[in-house]
Amino acid sequence: MKTKKKFLLSSVILLVVALVVLTFGNLPAAAADKIYRMKIQSAYPRGDLSMELLKDFAASADKRSKGRIKIQVFADPELVPGEQLFEATKKGTLTMLHAVAAMWGGIVPVGEVEFGLPYAYNLPGEPDVYQAGETIRSFFLETGFTDLLRKEYAKQGLYWLDVHSYGPIFTMSTKKITTCNDMQGLKFRVEGSWADYYNMLGARGTNISGMEAYMGLKLGTIDASQWDVSAVTGLKWHEVAPYRLLGGQNDVVPGHILMNMKTWNSLPDDLKQAMAGAAEEYFHALNKIYDGELKKVAELVKAGKVINSPIDEACDKKHEQAALQLWEKIAQRDAAAAQAIGIIKDWRKTLK
């Protein structure tokens, strides 16, 4: 009887051990097989080049994670209106947003600096879209600028994933502008602090929606409008505003992807690397797309449908002086904005 009881007890113990091994021994494998389902929405509508290319970002994340990251891509305003992207991502309604930082400048003042204060990303020489994009990416990643941005967005429950470039700023005008006198009183539709910039130069800056610009240019309610190269290749502003202002502009319009911080922190390290790799791949793919768009503009210039309108040296100097004054004004918004502008000043001293 005792032998039988011992046998039964041993069997029970072995069964319990087996169950423990099966249950807990498989946890790492189960965790490794977990699928992370995410949603990203762009601030731009269907048809926008950078928005459409987000499908490649999603595919890259899927491939790099071996199928463990699945990202659904949405355009403005398919899940939430563009102005609600920041709050929706912060709350986790969205996993990620795709936009320009000027949209959040009122919430995170350093966002105005990140987007590109006038002249901040005005580069020496005539860099092509690849050179300009790489120069700005290196600036972000190698000067401590990214660390500062991540710190500031973290206060809002967001992780700054990466930067990308929409190519150079395009400012299209209904009138030829070669001197600062030509600008006096003209109405410029621009982004963020650029309104103050043009006010300082004697023009009138306004922040109306870019989607209203074509009709505004056509009807004369505005005289010039700022966007990226898709102002010409996508939005066809040159049909009503054929002059492209050259001088006083930036050679890169940076955008970013922000991610819900809780979701980011929940990812294993290998999946964080997958997301970072996909974002970098998106940066390079977008440069290639915009290079092609700029070549289309060059053909339109040859055909006389887009007319380059460079400002003279005296006017260019006034633009630079106005920009530096504006930098000092924005540096007073908060400590992070001041630190960011200091980083830009130091970096620009190294440019040749």
* CATH for 178: 3.40.190.170
| Closest CA relative to residue 311, chosen from 182, 201, 178 | 178
Q: Is residue 18 part of a domain?
A: no
Residue 288: its pLDDT value, please? 96
- The DSSP output letter for 285 is H
**What's the whole-model pTM score?**
0.87
Listed residue (216, 214, 218, 238) closest to 293, CA to CA: 238
- pLDDT value at residue 192: 85
What are 86's two structure tokens? 């920041």
Give the dihedral of Cα atoms 20, 23, 29, 34; nearest 10 deg: -150
The pLDDT value given to residue 29 = 47
* Measured distance CA(231)–CA(135) in Å, rounded: 23
Residues written for the chain: 352
**The two structure tokens encoding residue 327:** 């930098």
* 160 DSSP β-pair partners: 258
pLDDT at position 27 is: 41
For 53, the token pair is 């290319």
Find the domain containing 319 and state its range. Answer: 170-251+305-348
**Helix, coil or strand: residue 38:** strand
Residue 324 is predicted with a pLDDT of 95
Would you say 36 and 69 are in contact if contact means Cβ atoms under 8 Å apart? yes
Q: State whether 318 and 328 are in the same domain.
A: yes
Print pLDDT tens along the chain (352 aa): 444 444 444 444 444 334 443 444 444 445 568 999 999 999 998 888 899 999 999 999 999 999 999 999 999 999 999 999 999 999 999 999 999 999 999 999 999 999 999 999 999 988 999 999 999 999 999 999 999 999 999 999 999 999 999 999 999 999 999 999 999 999 999 988 999 999 999 999 998 877 789 999 999 999 999 999 989 998 899 999 999 999 999 999 999 999 999 999 999 999 999 999 999 999 999 999 999 999 999 999 999 999 999 999 999 999 999 999 999 999 999 999 999 999 999 999 999 7
Say yes or no: 205 and 152 in one domain: no
Side chain identity at 183, as an amino acid letter?
Answer: M
Q: How many domains does the chain have?
A: 2
Q: Are residues 227 and 312 in the same domain?
A: yes
With beta carbons less than 8 A apart as the criterion, state whether 210 and 225 touch.
Answer: yes
Residue 4 lies in a domain: no
Check if the beta carbon of residue 311 is closer than 8 Å to that of residue 322: no
What is the pairing mode between strands 187-189 and 204-206? parallel
* Dist. CA 300–CA 284, nearest whole Å: 25
Which residues are 307's β-sheet partners? 243
> What's the confidence (pLDDT) of residue 208?
81
Both 219 and 101 in one domain: the answer is no
User: What's 311's DSSP letter?
Assistant: P
pLDDT score at 31: 56
In whole angstroms, give the CA distance from residue 169 to residue 117. 12
Q: Is residue 73 part of a domain?
A: yes
